[in-house]
Chains A and B, each alone.
Chain A
Amino acid sequence: MELERLVVIWCPLLQQEGGRGEEARRFVQVLARAGEICPWVHPIRLGVCALPARGPARFFGGEEMVVRHLVEAVEEDASVGVADGLFAAILAARSQLIVPAGEVAQFLAPWSVATLARPELAVTLQRLGVTTLGQFAALPAPHVSDRFGADAAACHRLCRGESGELAGVRDRAIDRRLRVARGEDPDQGSEPPPFQPGFFGGASAAETRAALSFARVQERLGVDAVLVGRLRGGRDPSEQAALVPWGSPEAEGPGTGGAPWPGRLPPPSPTRVLGVPQRAEMVDATGRAVVVSGRGLLESEVDRLSVEGGPWQPVVAWAGPWPVTERWWSVRRRRARLQVVMADGTARLLYNERTQWWVEALYD
């Protein structure tokens, strides 16, 4: 799963609460000022807050500009950083860096194993001669989970850049503490349970039970294992919706689904949207590759399909192609989409880009 890109604001002076609650009050102001620039600023713990990077970066014209605006706005001694996933983004903020997308594992590699805030694991690893997160990541995953247990396995996935967050990074009581700082009644308001800030308001017994069971799965498989679906605008099945970690800031923003997107396929939508498209070959009855012409038409009739070098399967019906030119303002992307029905009754959604066919989704 692709990790969500996050901006983290880290205020080192506000991390420890003094006796008079001054720090919490100033942190509330930081949240408010950052919130004037970007929506969905989410407190993580005292002195640390996070917000999704993608939208603001598009609006301000780059992540550097977002960082500059935020640093100016907060009027507090703050460092800002951007990276994939919450854990790396907090480290990035501490070193005031923007870590390029997809390079989170390389970024984490030189940090000490003590960064994981798992003292026992860190001591054991150091005794074994494993001192950095990079060395830890290089250990084979099955051995890590067999020898050190599920929590270490979660740390291991994090170090490999496969998950973005560790249990224990978020302060579960932060919303309550901030309500106190705002002078509100801490037990009032829509923020429900201590372990799930701001989740759908209201915390019935069923809600609490559900949240506990999700937390148990997260402990077992990692924070990124439990996802919720959100609708958003887009044409591709993969763009129209996203799966985001349960309880993350992105999961709580309003979805933007429902807005009309000219060019999207009519329902029914595919029930399985492949995370990684499968390379496919498609030929006509004479065995020549089926290509999409410059005018967006198929140059020959589809006869059979082979997915990832597999056996040829006869195609009995097809529809399309529906050409779409998207993102003409940046990297021009021209795709043509095609639905096919195979002789065995299965249906697939394919797209063609630069003369290569890809299976994008299955109608299971």
Chain B
Amino acid sequence: MPLNRDFRRLSRDDGLSVVYEHMFAFPTEIPTEKPVEKSAPLRSRELPVGLADRVRPTTPTAGRLLPVPAPLVPLFPDGALRRGTTTTVAGEPGHGATTLALALLAAVSQAGSWCAAVGLPDPGVVAAAELGIDLRRVVFVPHPGRGWAEAAGDLLPGVDVVLVRPPGRARGTVARHLAARARDRQAALVVLVERGSDWPQGGDLALTVGDVEWQGIGQGHGHLQRRRAEVRVSGRRSAGRDAECTLWLPADSGVVAAAKTAKGEDGSVGAGPDNGPKAA
């Protein structure tokens, strides 16, 4: 096991993303040449049912990646959101999962792609702008009611990222259908849930917000300044690399930033205003 882990890190650090891709995208013995080297783009529904879920195209990845803000790059095996995949963002209410999910729209919207947020009941527009979201590129469908899955399904062919917050645990058929539609339409689906298990299929990538801590606010002084959050990465596409990292979610100016301080030091509630990093 330790050997494996070392090897994985090595291959990433060298930037051999193609090698990496081949190694982990095909966990079983599928001959890579056969289905994927057709010139016409392959649609998942043209493949046998059992295979459709497992194959991943190996064409150059550049056009199929959607940028994420720099501090979030380490969370993603490709360093970006991959078109056609489902990413779940889980966290207890109030622990910053909404902030993390909205942050995933920031770089994409700035790059000129359309994004949509379905089922976020009262989105904080100012917070979204502070996170770096280009408001001209994001539509909100705050109250889809029982039509949330249909609305998300309608939007997947039209925009590059659909962020959806199901009202509770999603049904298996609904989750499968949406994931398949995202794959088919080459859009990225981001699902905001309370627990990872609320999305029956599990995402290709699962981000979970763990412990959080607000800083800058004391007993009657200061103000909410930044929130340190532990974010864990797991899921099929994390390539078995269950990583964890510490983020400011958000940092002082409202953007997300990497927390450089090690876990456990600094950061008691009421820490002075100058202890944190300067936000990018």
Binding site for B on A (CB under 8 A): 1, 200, 206, 209-214, 216-217, 220-221, 225-231, 237, 240-243, 246, 255, 257, 265-275, 298, 301-302, 316-320, 339, 341-342, 344-347, 361-364
B130 touching A217, Cβ below 8 Å: no
Docked pose: A220 CA to B118 CA in angstroms: 13
B129 touching A241, Cβ below 8 Å: yes
A-B contact pairs, 7 of them (CB 8 A): A225-B143, A226-B140, A230-B135, A269-B254, A273-B124, A317-B214, A361-B124
Contacts of B252 in A (CB 8 A): 267-268
A205 nearest CB across to chain B (Å): 11
B144 nearest CB across to chain A (Å): 6
Beta-carbon contacts of B39-72 to A below 8 Å, as 1s and 0s? 0000000000000000000000000000000000
Q: Can you add 14 more A-B contacts, CB < 8 Å, to A226-B141, A273-B125?
A: A200-B136, A213-B157, A220-B147, A228-B135, A228-B136, A230-B125, A243-B140, A268-B127, A271-B123, A275-B121, A317-B214, A320-B223, A346-B95, A363-B94
The yes or no answer to B246 lying at the interface (CB within 8 A) is: no
A242 touching B220, Cβ below 8 Å: no
Docked pose: A209 CA to B113 CA in angstroms: 11
Tell me whether A272 and B159 are in contact in the complex, defined as CB-CB below 8 angstroms, given that A316-B269, A318-B220 are known contacts: no
Docked pose: A342 CA to B98 CA in angstroms: 18
Tell me whether A347 and B214 are in contact in the complex, defined as CB-CB below 8 angstroms, given that A227-B140, A237-B126, A268-B224 are known contacts: yes
B122 touching A273, Cβ below 8 Å: yes
Contacts of B211 in A (CB 8 A): 345
Which listed residue (B126, B220, B221) contacts A231, Cβ 8 A? B126
Docked pose: A362 CA to B254 CA in angstroms: 14
Considering only CB atoms and an 8 Å cut-off, how many residues of chain B contact the other chain?
63
B158 touching A209, Cβ below 8 Å: yes
A171 nearest CB across to chain B (Å): 23
The yes or no answer to B240 lying at the interface (CB within 8 A) is: no
A228 touching B140, Cβ below 8 Å: yes
Binding site for A on B (CB under 8 A): 92-99, 102, 113-114, 120-130, 135-136, 138-145, 147, 150-151, 154-159, 211-214, 217-227, 250-254, 269-270
Docked pose: A266 CA to B224 CA in angstroms: 9
Contacts of B226 in A (CB 8 A): 268
Which listed residue (B138, B150, B269) contacts A229, Cβ 8 A? B138
Docked pose: A364 CA to B113 CA in angstroms: 25
Contacts of B121 in A (CB 8 A): 272, 275
The 9 A-B pairs at the shortest CB distance, nearest first, are namely: A213-B158, A346-B94, A241-B125, A229-B125, A267-B254, A364-B98, A268-B254, A269-B126, A269-B127
Docked pose: A209 CA to B157 CA in angstroms: 7
Nearest CB to that of A150 among chain B residues? Answer: B147
B218 touching A225, Cβ below 8 Å: no
Contacts of A320 in B (CB 8 A): 223
Contacts of B102 in A (CB 8 A): 271
Docked pose: A226 CA to B128 CA in angstroms: 17
Tell me whether A206 and B114 are in contact in the complex, defined as CB-CB below 8 angstroms, given that A200-B136, A318-B217, A363-B224 are known contacts: yes
Docked pose: A6 CA to B151 CA in angstroms: 28
Nearest CB to that of A361 among chain B residues? Answer: B124
Docked pose: A347 CA to B124 CA in angstroms: 14
B217 nearest CB across to chain A (Å): 5
B124 touching A271, Cβ below 8 Å: yes
A220 touching B214, Cβ below 8 Å: no
Contacts of B130 in A (CB 8 A): 267-269
B126 touching A319, Cβ below 8 Å: no
Contacts of A231 in B (CB 8 A): 125-126, 129, 135
A213 touching B155, Cβ below 8 Å: yes
Docked pose: A240 CA to B135 CA in angstroms: 14
